[in-house]
Every structure is written in C-alpha cells, then in structure tokens.
C-alpha cells in the first residue's frame, strides 16, 4: 500500500488486516538442526515418508515435504537393472518388463507420458530412437537418457493441506500394520540401487478435490475430473464433506450445532 519511492500511502483504507503464515515448531527446528537439515524450511522425506538419513523416523503433514527421486539421478542404474542379458543395449521388450516398477518408483514418467499424450513406451523412446515399431530395436544408454531426459519436469511438491496429511497418516498406519509380513514378502517396486524389492509401494497422493469459500453462503468447488461448481449448492456440498471428515460423532454434532446457531442468530463478530 506504500509507494516504494516516496513512502506515501497510495491506497486509502480504514483498517488494514495483515494475515501471515505460521512458523515451524521449535521441536521440528531443533530436530532439523540435529540431522543436518537446518537450511530447509521443512523436513525432507523420501517417497515412503521416512525422514532423509533417518530410516526409523517418519514425518507427515506440513512439517515435511517429499523429495521425489529424479529419474536422471538413477538413469544408469535403471539401465543396468533393465539390461538383463548384459548386452549394453535395451530392447523395447526389456523396458516393458520393468516398466510397471518404473511407474511406481518414478510416477513422473507416467505423468509425462499422459501430458504428452503418449500411448506407450514405444512413443516415449521414439525421441531417442527413430523406429520403435519392432520389439527387437535396441537403445544405447545415451539414447535411453535422451528419451527420458524431460520426464523429471513433472515432479511437483504436494500442497500443505489436511487432505494430504490425512492420506499420509492412513498410508503409514497400513504400512506399520503390515510391517512384519512385508519383511518376508515385500510388495514394493524393484530396488534400483540394491537388491530385491522395497517392502511397500511409495506413498501416492490422490487428489479428491478442493473448496474455496466465497462468502454469502457460496463456495467454489473443484472435484476430480476437472468438474468445477460455484454457488449455494457447492456450499452445502462443502458442509457435508466437512462434517463427514470429523473424527467422531461428538465433533460432528458440535460443528453442526455451531452452523445451526449461526444460521438462526447470525455470525457473532463482537469479539473482533
């Protein structure tokens, strides 16, 4: 609201309200210093929600962010695992044999193919090798690198929302309950750096939609399938979703009763 040059107020106002975000909790800050992450805003975890360099410590919610492994960081190891006959080249069939594990370990590959409307692995590697119609076509490691060079552009950080934290909590609860079984029968993707398989599949966030209250009992809603709605009906949809997400019937009753009092008596702003 100030002119940077003169310092004068350029926008007339009656009352200015400044809203800012919250800082990292001291407990998390101290822990980050102990593990060498003091220069970060939040904890860095891997795709299994384990804090980096701390295999037995997990972090969920807005105190952490997932550092998705880049394909190009492991491209040589991926090539080695896929090259089962040790020929120094890859055929389309060899890539297809490991493709599902690549999709699970590096979801950006599938997102990139979808964004570019590629129908299969043959379309993806066409940028590295011209004719991929035959399964016997062979790619060198340089051609393989060229084909996958842009897939990491699809890596994105998850939003710091309750929806993400709730799904992360459910994921970890499932993993902990199956820990002993997974030790004997791992269900995750092939270890690109190492032997065997990971115990579990990495965490994958499923976006179920989002709401933005607009005031006047109206809400903007964005739901899966790029369905967008604005109005009073979206507000009631938000009410129903919010109520069902409460953890107990007691909190549901309290929330709904608060809404009822507000509808009857209006919003109490006397404490502002």
Could you tell me which residues come within 8 angstroms of residue 57 by beta carbon, excluding any fewer than 6 positions away? 50, 51
**How confident is the model at residue 199, as a pLDDT?**
93
For residues 189 and 201, is the Cβ–Cβ distance under 8 A?
Answer: yes
Indicate the CATH number of 71-154 among 1.10.10, 1.10.287, 1.10.3470, 1.10.238.
Answer: 1.10.238
For residues 84 and 192, is the Cβ–Cβ distance under 8 A?
Answer: no
Structure tokens, 211: 């709401």
CA-to-CA distance for 230 and 236, rounded, in angstroms? 11
| Sign of the torsion angle spanned by Cα atoms 129, 131, 132, 135 | negative
Each residue's pLDDT expressed in tens, for the chain with a length of 272 residues: 677 788 787 777 788 787 777 788 899 999 999 999 989 989 999 999 999 988 789 999 999 999 999 999 999 999 999 998 888 988 888 888 888 999 999 999 988 888 887 777 777 776 555 554 555 578 888 988 888 888 998 888 898 888 999 999 999 999 999 999 999 999 999 999 888 999 999 999 998 889 988 888 899 999 887 788 999 999 999 899 989 988 899 999 999 999 998 888 887 766 65
Q: Among candidates 242, 224, 174, which has minimal Cα distance to 202?
A: 174
Query: CA torsion, points 252, 258, 260, 264, in degrees to nearest 10?
Result: 180
Q: What is the pTM of this model?
A: 0.79
Domain limits of the chain? 26-68+157-198, 71-154, 210-265
Q: Among candidates 14, 59, 15, 17, which has minimal Cα distance to 37?
A: 59
CA-to-CA distance for 214 and 149, rounded, in angstroms? 42
């Amino acid at each position: 609201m100030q002119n940077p040059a003169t310092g004068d107020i350029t926008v007339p106002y009656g009352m200015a309200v400044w809203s800012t975000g919250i800082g990292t909790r001291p407990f998390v800050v101290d822990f980050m210093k102990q593990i060498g992450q003091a220069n970060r805003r939040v904890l860095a975890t891997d795709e299994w929600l384990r804090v980096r360099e701390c295999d037995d410590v997990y972090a969920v919610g807005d105190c952490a962010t997932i550092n998705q492994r880049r394909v190009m960081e492991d491209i040589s190891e991926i090539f080695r695992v896929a090259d089962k006959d040790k020929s120094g080249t890859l055929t389309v069939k060899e890539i297809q044999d490991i493709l599902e594990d690549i999709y699970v370990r590096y979801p950006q590959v599938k997102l990139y193919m979808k964004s570019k409307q590629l129908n299969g692995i043959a379309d993806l590697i066409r940028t590295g090798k011209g004719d991929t119609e035959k399964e016997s076509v062979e790619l060198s490691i340089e051609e393989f690198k060229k084909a996958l060079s842009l897939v990491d552009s699809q890596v994105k950080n998850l939003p710091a929302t309750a929806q993400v934290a709730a799904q992360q909590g459910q994921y970890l609860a499932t993993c902990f309950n199956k820990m002993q079984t997974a030790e004997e029968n791992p269900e995750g993707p092939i270890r690109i750096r190492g032997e065997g398989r990971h115990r579990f599949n990495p965490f994958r966030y499923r976006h179920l939609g989002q709401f933005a209250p607009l005031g006047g009992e109206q809400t903007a809603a964005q739901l899966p399938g790029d369905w967008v709605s604005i109005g009073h009906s979206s507000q009631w949809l938000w009410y129903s979703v919010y109520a069902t997400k409460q953890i107990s019937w007691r909190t549901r009753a309290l929330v709904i009763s608060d809404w009822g009092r507000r509808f009857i008596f209006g919003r109490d702003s006397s404490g502002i």
